[in-house]
Amino acid sequence: MNYFPRVNVLGVGVHAINMQQSVSYLIEAALRRQKGYVCVTGVHGVMEAQNDARFRDILNRSLLTTPDGMPTVWVGKTAGHAAMGRVFGPDLMLNLCDASITRGLKHFLFGGAPSVAEELKRNLQHRFRGLQIVGTYTPPFRALNTDEQSQLAEQVKTAQPDFFWVGLSTPKQERFMAEYLPKLDTTVMLGVGAAFDLHTGRMKDSPDWIKSAGLQWGHRLLQDPQRLWKRYLVNNPKFIAAITAQLLGIRRYSLPTHTEPISNVA
């Protein structure tokens, strides 16, 4: 059972949690075979959820929805959760890989362009000696067809990973996890998007001071302006206006009373 409260961020329940708590909780969840998926959610995910009730429901029925960006952390601290801290997807991957070794827990990598998942596997196993990565799968840039679904299910059944990492970007990866968690023989699925490119050197990470200042979006925008300009230059101002209205009580957003993970809901 998840005992971490959710902070209401424009109707998205982001867990009041930090990195150390996230890693400990997910290791325990894997060891007790508690199926669920993890959404690493910042401003982009919150804003995508404003016009997509199904996506918002996916975020609100997660095992964990972690504060990926500093704005969600600041909202949580304003609500009184002083220990809440940023849980950035690529950092969560490194911390969880490290912590899983002594427990004998296994990992599977799903996502990325051709050869990226295999390269990520090599990099992680070089960095963390003894890390068990028991499979990789590079999906096509479309929904899996019936044969591909069967192939993936059989590969995962054979490997039986404890952690299934999904690198498809938001909101595609969250929708994938909600659909496939009940279909695959794995325990915890985690959508980490940029982690695949970051840990294979295809994208540069931001300095810590930029992350702490909540300016990582600008660093990413400079690296890929054609793809990301709308995400940041349109969504960020909308988020600031909306969250200001929420904090001032001008507009109210509700969270669902029941947030049982989708995999357990008929």
pLDDT of 92 reads 97
Give the residue among 68, 9, 69, 60 at the shortest CA–CA distance from 37. 60
The residues spanned by each domain of the chain are 6-257
pLDDT in tens, 81-97: 999 999 999 999 999 99
Is residue 148 pLDDT above 50, yes or no?
Answer: yes
pLDDT of 194 reads 85
Record the pTM: 0.87
Secondary structure of the chain: what % helix, strand, coil (to 5)?
50, 15, 35
pLDDT in tens, 13-68: 999 999 999 999 999 999 999 999 999 999 999 999 999 999 999 999 999 999 99
Element (H, E) at 104: none
Cβ atoms within 10 Å, residue 36: 23
Collapsing DSSP to helix, strand or coil, 136 comes out as: strand
pLDDT in tens, 197-228: 888 866 666 556 555 555 554 445 455 566 55
The contacts of residue 46 (CB under 8 Å, 6+ apart) are: 9, 10, 12, 14, 72, 239
Cβ atoms within 10 Å, residue 82: 8
